[in-house]
Amino acid sequence: MTNETLETHFKFMRMALDQAEAAHRAREVPVGCLFVYNNTEVVSTGSNLTNDTLSGIRHAELVGIDEILERFNLTSSENKYDAERQHKIYELFSKIDLYVTIEPCVMCGSALRQIGINRVFFGAANDRFGGNGSIFTINHDDLGIEHVSGNNSCFDKTYESYPDFGREEAIILLRKFYVGQNKKAPNPQTKEEDSRLLRFDQFPLMKYSKYITKKEFLKMYGESNVHRWIRSESGEDLTEAEGMFIENWIDPLMPLKKEVKLEMDEWQRKIQEGVINENRDHDRGNDVKRIKISGD
């Protein structure tokens, strides 16, 4: 690693999670983000506004990008291509990192590449629409764009995307949202009588090699975390349920927020006292096992 530390990234991701929590309180899909200039200055924040605006494209990343363009007077009222303006945008974003609680979708991943973002740090994988490795690798793909110099330069820059920063909390926020159901959704995905169980003990396996190389992993996360790479590649200490690999040992890369840790402890207490039936999903093929939280 350089002179930056994991703690620096944790600090910024904590702020992004705060944005996601605010979105959840506003009954929006709880995704939050933060744009940081030169690894020091927060220049923009964003959270999902799809419900408030009734627009499916008002994702957190695009909200944050728009805020930056307005702040630095880089918007275009005529919406026409301007090489000089584009160059200023590219130069600015080449020094900006994005911290976002969920992996950017294909749309946002493409937008980030077009503006020349420096790096992306995200929490949980986007297994349905991920554009940074889960489904597509928009951030790395060779788009066949010819690069030329001068005012006619085509600004196309790949970027690295680092996963697992605040992953567990990002997932829990999404679960809280979907357990409560989205009242504005046009086609409800669950029946009124189908009560959902908010789980605090099962998280999809983070497979780092889908997003970065082992060399990139060691440079960013350090040798002390190499066990995470090995575990994700070998599947060791994992159980399979409904075709999905589930971690059998909760060992967060980023320290959990105190309130979340207390919620997890309360979940375990209720299971032990029989208040929650952890085997309620057996008829659907789930094999739910008791989970030990690292550090207990």
Phi and psi of 41, rounded to 5°? Answer: -110, 125
Q: What is the pLDDT of residue 179?
A: 83
- From 28, 61, 103, 278, the catalytic residue: 61
CA-based nearest residue to 222, from 232, 214, 231: 214
Residue 71 confidence (pLDDT) above 80: yes
Grade residue 4 by pLDDT with cuts at 50, 70 and 90.
Answer: confident
What's the CA gap between 293 and 168, in Å, rounded?
12
Is the model's pTM score more than 0.75?
Answer: yes
Question: Average pLDDT of 57-77?
Answer: 94
- Domains of the chain, each with CATH number or no CATH: 6-162 (3.40.140.10), 196-293 (no CATH)
Residue 58 confidence (pLDDT) above 80: yes
Residue 291 confidence (pLDDT) above 60: no
- Structural tokens at position 281: 């999903």
Residue 148 burial (CB < 10 Å; 0-12/13-18/19+)? exposed
Tokens 């979940």 locate to 267
Q: Residues 86, 109: contact at Cβ < 8 Å?
A: no
Q: What is the pLDDT of residue 238?
A: 46
What's the CA gap between 21 and 263, in Å, rounded?
15
Q: What is the pLDDT of residue 91?
A: 95
pLDDT digits (tens, 9 = 90+) for 110-128: 999 999 999 999 999 999 9
Ranges 38-47, 69-78, 275-284: which has the least confidence: 275-284
pLDDT digits (tens, 9 = 90+) for 199-256: 777 788 899 999 999 999 999 999 999 999 998 988 654 444 444 444 445 789 999 9
CA 5 to chain centre: 19
> Average pLDDT of the chain?
83
Q: Is 84 a catalytic residue?
A: no
Q: What percent of the chain has pLDDT over 90?
A: 60
